[in-house]
Every structure is written in structure tokens, then in C-alpha cells.
Chain A
């Protein structure tokens, strides 16, 4: 099955700075790459996703980039705010209808 690696495992940034989280995947058949945000004690919630026919997608302060050749994709958060503090998970589908998740990045935004 698909193997998704995520880095870093923890990330601290000052409020207003940018945060970048990177993921790599192993299966070239993957064609769907969502990002989920999970606040403490809550469910994972989709924040942005990208399909393999698109190289970049933006939604206000968040963006995702995809490099199919290198098999990696990244989440970019600009102008970070304290409410961005959470655990972020990347995922890839391995060409199937399931999702394989990375191990998560705990982002802390320091006011």
C-alpha cells in the first residue's frame, strides 16, 4: 500500500510568520492529496485538498503544492494565528478510494 511520510513532527512559529509542512508519498498511482487539521480532542477536519492534475491550490491563508515527479506535496500557512495551532495530517490515496495518512505535525503558533 501507499506510504506517506510527513515532516516535521513538531513546528513552532511566531504569530504572523509562515509555516510549511512537507509530505512524501511512495505510490505514483496516488491522485488525491488532502490535508486535515485536528484540534485537541476533536475530529480531523479537511482544510484543503489537491488532485494530481493541479500543481498548486490556494484558499485564503493556506496553500498546497504538489510535485508529482518528486512525489512530494506541501502545506503552506501564511500569517499564522494562534487558532492555527493544531495537529495537521497529510494523506494520499494510493490510486484507490482509501486514504493513507502521514504521522502528523503538531503546529504551535506563539502569540
Chain B
């Protein structure tokens, strides 16, 4: 049982380039999330999904897109990277969501640098 797996672990992009971050979970969780972590700002929610085929915006969605074509995968895309998107990105999953007391399980993170 691998839990939540993120790829890649590190990436450097030039301004304007695009990329996709992949998150996979093997716990049959319904909910999946993408957060970014910046120094002094905690974890901020980018987008989330409440089930296969669904996506919704979080606190800081601008410049990102997501897709959840399969229940176990949640993809985060950057169409045109900007230096402000330099951050550590964490994917998380939850069995039934926080409203039902279901905790979030995090992946190991992806460190992205945009130059």
C-alpha cells in the first residue's frame, strides 16, 4: 500500500513552459486535493475533487488546471509557468472528506522552481 504518490519530485521550468504534476493514490479515496506550500504561508488549496470526473476551485486556483479522469489519479497542470508558481506542491487524499472527520493523507511533495 503506497498511499499517495507524487511525480516528479523536483522540476525546474522556464517562464512560459507548461508541465503536469501527477498524483496517484491506492487507498480508494473519494476526495483528492492539490495544495501549495510557501514559506510563512502554510498550505493553500489550489483545486480539489470530490470524486471521479469532478473538480472544483480552491483558494488559489489561478494559473492552474486539474483533471480527475480516474478515481486514483489527480493531475495538476500549469499551462504557462510564472516565477510566482515556484513552490512545493502537495497532493492529498481523503476517504470521505473533512466534514465527516476523514483526515487528509499527503504525498511527499513536488518542489517546482520557475526561472
Q: Which of B41, B44, B90 contacts A43 (CB 8 A)?
A: B90
**Contact between A42 and B45 (Cβ–Cβ < 8 Å)?**
no
Name the segment of B19-27, B61-69, B78-86, B92-100 touching the other chain.
B92-100
Nearest B residue to A4 via CB reads B42
Known: A97-B94, A99-B104. A44 touches B43 (CB 8 A): yes
A14 contacts the other chain (Cβ, under 8 Å)? no
Task: Return the contact of B98 from the options A1, A42, A99 (Cβ within 8 A).
Answer: A99
Chain B residue with minimal CB distance to A52? Answer: B101
> Are B44 and A101 in contact (CB-based, < 8 A)?
yes
In the bound complex, what is the Cα–Cα distance between A44 and B96 (angstroms)? 19
Report the Cα distance A22→B44, complex, angstroms: 19
Q: Indicate whether B74 reaches chain A with its CB closer than 8 angstroms.
A: no
**B43 pairs with A98, CB closer than 8 A:** no
Question: Number of A residues contacting the other chain (C-beta, 8 Å)?
Answer: 25
Q: Return the contact of B40 from the options A42, A46, A100, A103 (Cβ within 8 A).
A: A103
Which secondary structure characterizes the binding site on chain A? loop
A73 within 8 A of partner (CB): no
User: A98–B103 contact, CB under 8 A?
Assistant: no
B41 and A103: CB pair below 8 A?
Answer: yes
Given contacts A46-B104, A89-B42, A89-B43, contact A97 B98 (CB under 8 A): yes
A93: chain B residues within 8 A (beta carbon): 98-99
Chain A 37-58 residues near chain B, CB threshold 8 A: 42-46, 49, 51
Provide the residues of chain B in CB contact with A101, threshold 8 Å: 35, 42-44
Contact: B109 with A43, CB < 8 Å? Answer: yes
Task: Specify which of A6, A98, A104 is in contact with B45 (CB 8 Å cutoff).
Answer: A98
A26 to chain B, nearest CB (A): 14
Q: Are B45 and A100 in contact (CB under 8 A)?
A: yes
CA distance A49 to B103 in the complex (A): 8
Residues on the B chain within 8 Å of A1, using CB = 59
